Structure 1
Amino acid sequence: MSDTVKSAETATPLTPLLAVLGAVFLWGSSFASMKYLVSFMDPWAVMWLRTGVATLVLTPFAARLAGPVRQGRDRGALALMALCMPCLYFFFESHALTYTSATQAGLISASVPLMVAAGAGLFFGERTTPRGWLGLALSIAGVGALTMLGNPSEHASNPLLGNMLELAAMVSATGYMLLVKRLSASYGPWTITAVQNAAGVIFFLPGAYMLLRDGVGADPVFTLAIAGYLGAFVTLGAFGLYNVGMSRLPAGKASVFINLVPVVAAFFGWTLLGETLTPGQLLASAIIFAGVGLAQTGGRGC
């Protein structure tokens, strides 16, 4: 019996919802933390440290929590999933945060649920109504407006480039979520999480050299604490929790909770980094949320 089946038998209906909510809170808090680290560390070094910590924490429990990977098409799907997340996602996002603010990056993540809904309709037959497609278009227009209205500032040296990189990260996240939905029928959440972390350590291996070359900044204890939080709680904990939720919820419904990430990201960006948005960017943010809200009232089957 796979660990997916065991979790399905023991989990209450509330369990997957709480798991996804926990993942969303951790993801939202990660934008400010990543913004802080990439302000003085190379993004590759940050990501190798982050995935390395996650793998180090998971390794003692991997034999008990994770199952074997079978031969055949699953290996290709798992490899593509790991390429999308964490490899391409973190590559794009860590570089995006060197150019844009944590708040703007978090707001762009509001486009993910609509991208996932479109993909779920295409690949899994989850119905997306015309209103849902209109909401997707409106949300993407809001992301474009947020990007074009951004001016260089203390927290965003090149918001056009940074926001485009963040949007590329969201496309990668969409591919990951759709693949997890397919793979969760055969593999438990911690098997998927273990594959992700192992791929991340290998992909970001050049960061180990950069870490040795450049060090970890003027306050190594605080830097390592932030990296430890990102690795153990966000990279490992959040993805583990989200994989639990995705194994028990329709792809469209699980992705809807990503709408809360911008709120959490904006809160931490404001309280920890002092970030703000211009009136034009606030309007663009409202357009993003209007698109999300329009899609959610469209009666999408999920």
Structure 2
Amino acid sequence: MATASRRSTLTVLTALAPISWGSTYAVTTEFLPPDRPLFTGLMRALPAGLVLLALARVLPRGIWWAKAAVLGALNIGAFFPLLFLSAYRMPGGMAAVVGSVGPLFVIGLSALLLGQRPTARALVAGIVAAFGVSLVVLKAAGALDSVGVLAAVASTASMSTGTVLTKKWGRPEGVGPLALTAWQLTAGGLLIAPLALLVEGAPPALDGRAIGGYLYLALANTALAYWLWFRGIGRLTATQVTFLGPLSPLTAAIVGWSALGQALTPVQLAGMALAFGATVAGQLAGRRMASVGRMGTGLPLAASVRAAGRASAEPAPRATAEPAARATAAPVARQPK
């Protein structure tokens, strides 16, 4: 019972990350300079990464310089610019719900990279979530921006791949989720910086409203939220984490309805309800997939991971490895003027 209680608490704390991300699109379109997705991604990632790096005071060693760079590119460096590009080019609610296809990406990648055979419940939950997404996107009033839709799908695929690889690689012995989060945010921010300068030019002038928006994104929406997210990935399955993603568009829809005066059609609401309902089923399916993945080895999961680490001559990763599912759907907001 105590273990179940701790797992429920961990799930709730991890869920705070996508709930926080549900405000990203609203903050982007209402507070930040328009049409600067790369600069916005940079301001969200690099300051947060440097703050966490100063707190953790641990640098990667050996192969982890390369692994941190890859994870930082997938979870941050590619994900953030694509996320903000979709936020700038289409209504936040539409772009946010596209992220609900994340569970299908993660289920497939988990089977390929983690040896976790998908259960029927996980597949059904993922298909239901995707169907809900299709109702929201295909039945939306008005024309959808194709570049925005592609950017939203690509951001979800990038984050999903990063989530599964983080789970596969784990963490170096003695390194906690704070340091792992710092490495990825810093690496991702450094990747975005030259692109932002080359593509968008010099940083725009910032007023108090924009500065407040960037501070919120960097500290609460990124530093704290990603620490909770990677911490959760270390203890939950990749499938369980990614099925928390629909909480982001749910929060986005609530923000859009309550603060921005946005409306959703009945068909869209039904689609969102289907996608969100898959979240609960996905938690149970993730536990089942974890137990299936352990079968056939004769060892508990932690022991199997350690054995694999020794066989590859790398430091044995901790049993509580991780990364982001963000199935990270993004949030609702008004289209920039």
Same fold (TM over 0.5): yes
What's the counterpart of residue 243 of structure 2? 256
Equivalent residue number for residue 232 of structure 2:
245
Name whichever of 226-235 and 277-286 sits farther off. 277-286
Name the structure 1 match of 2:275: 288
1:192 is the counterpart of 2:192: no
Maintained 8 Å contact 1:53/1:228:
no
Name the counterpart of 1:207. Answer: 196
CA distance change for structure 1 residues 208 and 134 in 2, over 3 Å: closer, same or farther? same
Could you tell me how far 1:18 is from its partner in structure 2? 4.0
The one-letter code of the counterpart of 2:41 is M
Counterparts of 1:56 and 1:296, CA distance in 2: 33
Q: State the 1:34 CA deviation.
A: 2.3
Question: Does structure 1 residue 164 correspond to structure 2 residue 154?
Answer: no
- Paired residues for 1:100-119 under 5 Å: 100-119=90-109
Matched, 1:69 2:60: yes
* Distance in 2, Cα, partners of 1:118 & 1:111: 12
Is the contact between residue 86 and residue 147 of structure 2 (CA under 8 Å) also seen in structure 1? Answer: yes
Question: TM-score normalized by structure 2?
Answer: 0.72
Q: Distance in 1 between matches of 2:177 and 2:279?
A: 27
**Alignment match, 1:227:** 214
Change (3 A) 1:286 1:18: closer
CA contact (8 A) 2:33 2:210 kept: no
Q: CA deviation at 1:166?
A: 0.9
Determine the structure 2 residue equivalent to 1:181: 167
Provide the identity percentage: 23
Structure 1 residue 280: Cα displacement: 3.5
Q: Sort the Cα spacing of 1:293 and 1:15 in 2 relative to 1 into closer, same or farther, 3 A.
A: closer
Alignment size in residue pairs: 280
Tell me if structure 2 keeps the 8 A contact 1:111–1:292. no
Q: Which runs of 5+ in 1 are unaligned?
A: 1-11
Label 1:21 to 1:287 Cα distance change in 2 as closer, same or farther (>3 A): closer
Paired amino acid for 1:238: A
- Residue 87, structure 1, aligned to residue 81, structure 2: no
Cα distance in 1 for residues equivalent to 2:189 and 2:183? 10
- 1:78–1:60 Cα change, 3 Å: closer
Q: Does 1:275 align with 2:262?
A: yes
Q: From 27, 30, 33, give the equivalent of 2:21.
A: 27
Provide the TM-score with structure 1 as the length reference.
0.80
- Tell me: CA distance 1:213–1:164, structure 2 relative to 1, closer, same or farther (3 Å): closer
Cross-structure match for 1:36: 30
Q: 1:145 to 1:159 in 2, by over 3 A?
A: farther
Q: Distance in 2 between matches of 1:292 and 1:243?
A: 18
Q: How far 1:202 moved relative to its partner?
A: 1.6
Distance in 1 between the 2:283 and 2:232 partners? 19
Between structures 1 and 2, the one with greater helix share: 1
Change (3 A) 1:183 1:234: farther
For residues 115-174 of structure 1, what are the alpha-carbon distances to aligned partners after superposition, in whole Å with 9 as ceiling and x for unaligned?
32332233223331234324433433443343233344xxxx744432332121111110
The unaligned stretches of length 5 or more in structure 2 are 1-5, 291-337
Is the Cα–Cα contact under 8 Å of residues 142 and 284 in structure 1 kept in the other structure? Answer: yes
Q: How many angstroms apart in 1 are the aligned matches of 2:43 and 2:268?
A: 33
Pick closer, same or farther for the CA change 1:23–1:291 going to 2, 3 Å: closer
